[in-house]
Structure 1
Amino acid sequence: MTATAPVLSSTPRQSLRRARGWIVLIVILLVGAGIATAIQLSLATSTLDPMGADNPAPQGAQALARVLQEHGVDVRTASTLEAARQAASERDDTTVLLSDPSGFLDAAQSRTVLGLGVDVVAVGPGFAQLQAIAPDVRLAGHPVRTASSTPGCDVAAADRAESVAGVDTAFRVTGDAVGCFPLGSLYALAQARSGDTTVSAVGAAILENDGIQKAGNAALAIGLLGSHRTLVWYLPSAADATASGVPTIAELTPGWLTPAIILLIAVVVAAAIWRGRRFGPLVVEDLPVVIRASETIDGRAQLYRRASARSHALDALRVGALRRIGRLCGLPPNAYVDQIVIAAAGLTGRPLVDVREALVDSTPGTDAEALATASVLEDLEHEVRLAVGGATDTLGRPAPEGTEPPAGGAQTPPVAGPLGSPATPTNTTRTSAYSDEE
């Protein structure tokens, strides 16, 4: 009887269960992509530009544009001067709304707008734009009073509105210009003639979605923009600035910048020549004077004494003594100080404490104490040499074979001590404590 082998392949239900997490993730991604696409499509059908005819935001003007369309006005939007020119097919029956808060248009382009319609409404114009299209109207900034219930002029649209509220921009008028809705000495609406074109200047807050319903703002806006069959809603863009010629870098650069850069380069080059390294072969020069070792020792001793550097001078003697004693005891050059101290004490029979006191621990407080410690170091080194039974030369090194130690100790001339005072005459063995270190 043959046993049936178990089935190892997964069933569709098991595969679906294992892939459940990936399926949920894919669904979430698809839903997110759909939401993002819907938002982009909604943004594509409306503009967020201030005073946009299809902008439903508080700063937009969608409400005004729809009301004008309901009154039979053909609202044509344009974002470039060329598009505005094409939209204004019949000048005698066209009104142009001009809103250029970013200042894309220059004076010549602003004056060109005057030829597109018989009425031009400048919304929130700047100083340069008013100077170009309505020289008798001056921008006065934000008024203290923001409402007025007196038209104060013979403009039909102002008479029908009777009042305005929420004014954010005021104007001054001179010459033949007319001011409406007085705010003290300023006006919420200014109107002037430029050739055969009537130019009206008004603040943006009166026409925006957030302020159109206040007082008579809607009636004023409809009266200014709905008097003709065609309304060109012109919001200049960066394309107008490009078409007029963007200033070059040379035009934007101040005149003093180029000479300053040239001067800076010249200064850097001069500094490099003045303080830079001189490349060339190394030259070996002989010393003009040969200084004897004894003079160097005397000079260093005088410096130590003048600075009262007793500890420094004594440390120099101790380093030399430790090196020579370690060599006499057969210790390696890297031997520890304690090893040298123990070896010296064992060879000389001196107490370990006294040997360590001389080689390491004592701190001189006066010149006399320093000289006494130096004398102890010489005696200790001499005793070590005698203990090992080796003859040494004047530097404490083992003498050549067959050389006898000097009988009775040969005398040497006095040598200046490390503290500046002449040392007592010593034999060659005792003097080596100074000469080898120096």
Structure 2
Amino acid sequence: MTETAVNPTVRQRLRASRWVLMVLVVVIAVATLTAVFTAPRPGGRMDPEATSSEGAHALVALLRDHGVDVVVADDIAAVERAATPDSLVMTVQTIHLVSEDVLRRLAAVPGDRLIVEPVSRTREILAPEIRRDDGGSVGGSPDCDLREATRAGDVQFGGSDTYVASGDVPVTRCYEGALVRYTDAGRTVTVVGSSDFMTNSGLLKEGNAALAMNLAGAKPRLIWYAPQQREGETTGGASIFDLIPDQVVWIVIQLGLVVLLVALAKGRRIGPLVAERLPVVVRASETVEGRGRLYRSRRASDRAADALRTATLQRTVPRLGLGADASPAAVVQTVVERTGRDPRAVWHVLYGPPPSTDTDLVNLAHALDDIERQVAQS
């Protein structure tokens, strides 16, 4: 009889455990697939492999879909190997492009140049015929005869530098100087003061995608140079935490929520709270004496007097027929009418300065007790 009574319960628990395990497996599988297929690939600004908002993976994919041979150069040596006279070398200013030697080598490679938001040193070496226009402003319309700009129309650059010619070489200015172009020794040099319109998050705004495609796809071959680390630097060995994908955090959070829900479901089966008597009962007199000794040890006669007066007023004011927000003058006047005491004495007892000695504190307590007794008997 024992086996027949126990076996059904065991089977029910096994079935419940299987359902819990199946739910956990499904949640883990869904969370893993979601993290793998929807998480952006990290990277720096204008990184051609990054799918984050500041990356440029979308522009690279569009260029390749339109037949442009995009060569991603990780270092200056790769740029020198891939550059040809009929190619376009796009140099994107990043925090890692600081070496003057690298800039000199870039200036020596063949082909046209597209320079994106350069700093002063980069501009002086790669585009010496222009200078920064400190008083310029960026307009939305091209307002020039450059074919790439007129076909794109209005563009949102965001924050952008503007440029003007620094010498006698003719310079074409578009978008009030945010985009400039000139020709030097048969080479076309184009400078753009912002890269926002080329990023993944900026391509969808107005004519941003069209202008980015027109500028970067001007030649059949594009050399994309946006250095993500300084020349000669190598990444150090990855730690165990570097090898863990960022999406694992979300998986752990989802698993924690599942465990919490299961715990709440199981916790509902716990019985009601059990009342338990306190092991020790502390009398009110002991509490009062303890607080009195504490005030005395700290010489806090002002706080003790304030506590005595507050307690007396809380008991006396309702008996006087006054509200809790009654003013001190009203309280004193009513006490005087009920007890016949001197108004100045009543004021001194109820609202006067704190006592300076223990004797004064004891006298204050007696005086408060007398007022309370007289009010109760009146």
What TM-score do the two structures reach when normalised by structure 1? 0.43
What TM-score do the two structures reach when normalised by structure 2? 0.49
Structure exhibiting the larger radius of gyration computed from Cα positions: 1
